Amino acid sequence: MNEAKYRAAEQRLWESVAVSPREQFVTLPRIGMKVRVQEVGEGEPVLFIHGGPNSGSTWAPIIEHFSGYRCLIVDRPGTGLSEPYTVTRENLARFGDAFVGDVLAALNVDSAHVVASSFGGMLALRSAAAEPHRLLRMVQMAAPALAPGSSTPSFMKGMAFAPVRWLIGKLPPNQKANDRILRQLGHGVAIDEGRFSPVFNDWYLALQRYTDTMENDGNMIGRFVSWSGFDPADAIPDEIFAAVESPTLFLWGADDGFGGEDVANYIVARMPNAELVMIPQSGHLPWLDDPQSIAKQTLAWLSAAVVQPPATGGLSAS
């Protein structure tokens, strides 16, 4: 960990989008570790939950186009500047059920909208099912982790093997390797058209070089994947989807390396209040392909009339 060098790259990223986040560290009351939350703007709260291996500042390109909301951008445990937490098959359900509620409780926020991606999307769905009073409206960016019927990109299959993870940790990060991964995630068009800014690429390389994110998230991925991909037994259960009462919009990149429209339709058909928009020539992180358009669609969804969540109820892991 070299916090100073990471912070310098992160500051350049935020400056490139003309945003100056406020920062605080809070302790999650049930999960039990300290996480960093960056905050931008004023208004109704929106909690942003990223996937992996990544950290909260990956949302910077879309935050540039946000206004009228209090954006709460968390570094998940083990990523960015947050403390680590070991996610296993045995504690995944409890972790997911509590995550959104814990972050909001630590921030003294009763309920919030949620924008989530990948592993963060899975956490948001589990939290929405377990504690529906915590979530207002939700936007899911493409495939949530462990979506039923989803595929596993080859770079993640490699993380099943400890020697591969060790080698990744020893090799210096480089842009060519990052671009290969992004292409597997469905972002080939954006790479070819130069949509990823140099300052964003530099920040992501700094995240790999100067924080423990890659080691922590790589080890987590390794616990859930084998040479053949993710185990279908670990997939999000249908009852989780059915229990999500929050009005939910899926902005799904048509080229998502984890699954296309068939996976999206399976999920949306099992949710009582969900809509799907397929984004052509876009991948697993659609806001990186077209930040302004994705921000516009996200803001339109969040600004629709809010259905107040119930005071009690929901699913919870035993």
Decide if domain 3-302 falls under CATH 2.60.200.20.
no
- Summary mean pLDDT of the chain: 94
Percent of the chain with pLDDT over 90: 87
Q: For 137-190, what is each residue's pLDDT tens digit?
A: 999 999 999 999 999 999 888 888 888 887 777 788 999 999 999 999 999 999
DSSP 72-139: EEE--TTSTTSPP----TTTHHHHHHHHHHHHHHHTT-S-EEEEEETHHHHHHHHHHHH-GGGEEEEE
Token digits of residue 53? 């291996």
Rg (CA), the chain: 18
Q: Which residues of the chain have pLDDT under 50?
A: 306-313, 316, 318
- pLDDT at site 311: 42
Token digits of residue 2? 């070299």
- pLDDT at site 315: 59
Q: How many CB atoms lie within 10 A of CB 88?
A: 10
Q: For 35-72, what is each residue's pLDDT tens digit?
A: 999 999 999 999 999 999 999 999 999 999 999 999 99
- pLDDT at site 317: 54
The answer to whether the beta carbons of residues 130 and 314 sit under 8 Å apart is: yes
- As a dihedral over the C-alpha atoms of residue 221, residue 222, residue 227, residue 231, rounded to 10 degrees, the angle is -60
- pLDDT at site 171: 80
Separation between Cα atoms, residue 138 and residue 230, nearest integer Å: 25
Helix axes 198-210, 175-184, angle to 10 degrees: 100
- pLDDT at site 313: 46
- pLDDT at site 168: 75
Separation between Cα atoms, residue 223 and residue 207, nearest integer Å: 22
Per-domain residue ranges for the chain?
3-302
Beta-ladder partners of 208: none
Strands (E), 2-87: 22-27, 34-40, 44-49, 69-74
